[in-house]
Amino acid sequence: MSVMLNAWRHAPTHRRVWALAVPMILSNLSVPLVALVDTAVAGHLPHAHQLGAVAVGSTLYVMIVGTLGFLRMGTTGFAAQASGREDGGALRQVLLQGLVLAVLLALLLGSLAVPLSTFALGLMNPSAELHDLTREFFHIRLLGLPAALANYALVGWFLGSQNARAPLAVLLTTNITNIVLSLWFVLGLEWSVAGAAWAAVLAEWSGVLLGLLLTRLALRQQTGRLDVHALHRWRNWRPLLAVNRDIFIRSLALQGVFFLFTVQGARLGDATVAANALLLNGLLVTAYALDGLAHAVEALCGHAIGARDRLALRRALVISGGWSLLASLLFALLFFSGGEVFVNLQSDIAEVRAVAHGYLPYLALLPLIAVWSYLLDGLFIGATRAREMRNAMLIAVALSLPLGLALRPMGNHGLWLAFLTFMGIRGLCLATMGWRLARHDRWFAPTPQP
């Protein structure tokens, strides 16, 4: 206990955590703010199926983009360790590799997304109106896929380089542009659901253009040169691809859980799927805020591991963990006391509001259960130990799916109980694996470099 208290009392680490976390919290909160604005705009259109189309279409798009979140996470870990070694050449290599992967994956996934969306909508069996509007929204959103993936690589690289201001500028530009254009296109020009989709596409491209400009400025401050010939050798791609492969499997499993959640909600009716979307926006707000602290863990722990500094690693983890717990308590209190206001701000459809109000206790519990998986994800990402993250996620899914099937007779209550259980198991598995690594002093075992 005294070791943890000594770590907690280290004021310089507090400052470093918040220097990274505050810009990332602000930029991260702008992401669910976009979802809240899109939902609120669609929620004030005349029909529930219009709100449902934005909710389901966004879920399909986020499922694809979220599955490729390894582009940010893998880039952050390797960039942080290169920064800890003060290796400017490796930083340049990680950046270029991330952008190349983003372009290639956008081309591949873009070609597969349309038939996959048809299959997904068939599983949901939505109403005809919801089906047609969702397809329209989703097909437009795909035009922003290359920009969204490139932004992942750029934000991950900046964060790993201990630069949190550039991701803040990129994400704020993207999301503020999205908000302004969504209000203009949907309410001003009356483009309905398609207007929300076009606003998101244009916003994503504005963000990537700014990110590339900021990258050029940041590289001027980094010594070292890119070894172009190293990019032609497979061994220089293998570590990054191996980490990204494991994070991809982990992300695919996570997005699969959210997809199944949406599918089951859609089967319970348009009002239920719309109400769940409103509540999950609360999870998004919580997750993106807590991820700001997790991003600080990624950068600081990765830097400490690159520099082989055990004391710095302990301090970063203890201090970030303490602040994450306090933040999760605050979110739980806010949703418990003000959940109805949160729901009512997003929609004025009486039926949707009534359904959402009945499930607010689950939303209040989520921050307290989910905080541990967010924090520990940051540690494993910074250490580029993606295999453990993958295994923890697969175990959580394997244990939660049978529970979800058993609770189906309980309707939406069973769905939420299964989801809470999944988040709890995920955090417990990560904690167990982290304890084993610490017990055998394996956090500083040699890791391959890209």
Per-residue model confidence as pLDDT tens digits over 302-343: 778 777 778 888 888 888 888 889 989 999 999 998 888 888
What is the per-residue pLDDT for 344? 84
What is the per-residue pLDDT for 396? 94
Q: What angle do CA 228, 229, 233 make, to 5 degrees?
A: 120
What is the per-residue pLDDT for 20? 77
What is the per-residue pLDDT for 49? 62
What is the per-residue pLDDT for 332? 93
What is the per-residue pLDDT for 382? 78
Higher pLDDT, 335 or 289: 335
Q: Specify whether the CB–CB gap between 428 and 392 falls below 8 A.
A: no
pTM metric for this prediction: 0.68
Per-residue model confidence as pLDDT tens digits over 37-63: 766 776 666 566 666 677 677 777 777
What is the per-residue pLDDT for 438? 81
Tell me the C-alpha distance between 146 and 65, whole Å: 10
Tell me the C-alpha distance between 136 and 134, whole Å: 5
Q: What is the mean pLDDT of residues 138-147?
A: 84
What percent of the chain has pLDDT above 70? 84
Q: Specify whether the CB–CB gap between 222 and 92 falls below 8 A.
A: yes
Give the ranges where 68-191 is alpha helix by DSSP (H): 70-84, 88-124, 128-141, 145-160, 165-182
Confidence of residue 421 (pLDDT cuts 50, 70, 90): very high
Dihedral sign for Cα atoms in the order 187, 178, 364, 278: positive
What is the per-residue pLDDT for 424? 93
Per the rule left: phi > 0, alpha: psi between -120 and 50, beta: everything else, 47 is beta
- On the question of pLDDT at 287 being above 70, the answer is yes
Which tokens belong to 308? 């082989």
Q: What's at 209, amino acid-wise? A: L
Tell me the C-alpha distance between 338 and 323, whole Å: 22
Per-residue model confidence as pLDDT tens digits over 91-109: 777 888 888 888 888 888 8
Q: What is the mean pLDDT of residues 199-226?
A: 82
Q: What is the mean pLDDT of residues 397-406?
A: 90
Tell me the C-alpha distance between 352 and 161, whole Å: 44
- On the question of pLDDT at 251 being above 90, the answer is no
- On the question of pLDDT at 447 being above 60, the answer is no
Tell me the C-alpha distance between 323 and 184, whole Å: 38
What is the per-residue pLDDT for 127? 65
Q: Specify whether the CB–CB gap between 242 and 450 falls below 8 A.
A: no
- On the question of pLDDT at 73 being above 80, the answer is no
Q: Specify whether the CB–CB gap between 447 and 81 falls below 8 A.
A: yes
Tell me the C-alpha distance between 215 and 212, whole Å: 5
- Could you give the dihedral angle defined by the CA atoms of residues 156, 428, 436 and 7, in that order, rounded to the nearest 10 degrees? 70
Q: What is the mean pLDDT of residues 348-370?
A: 88
Mean pLDDT of the chain: 80
Name the packing angle between helices 48-67 and 128-141 (round to 10°). Answer: 40
Q: Specify whether the CB–CB gap between 17 and 94 falls below 8 A.
A: no
What is the per-residue pLDDT for 222? 66
Higher pLDDT, 325 or 23: 325
Per-residue model confidence as pLDDT tens digits over 27-38: 666 555 666 676
With 0-12 / 13-18 / 19 or more C-beta atoms within 10 angstroms meaning exposed / middle / buried, residue 194 is middle
Per-residue model confidence as pLDDT tens digits over 424-439: 999 999 999 988 888 8
Q: Specify whether the CB–CB gap between 355 and 46 falls below 8 A.
A: no
Tell me the C-alpha distance between 141 and 86, whole Å: 39
Q: What is the mean pLDDT of residues 200-219?
A: 87
117: Cβ–Cβ under 8 A, 6 or more apart, which residues? 60, 135, 138, 139
What is the per-residue pLDDT for 433? 92
What is the per-residue pLDDT for 423? 93
What is the per-residue pLDDT for 329? 94
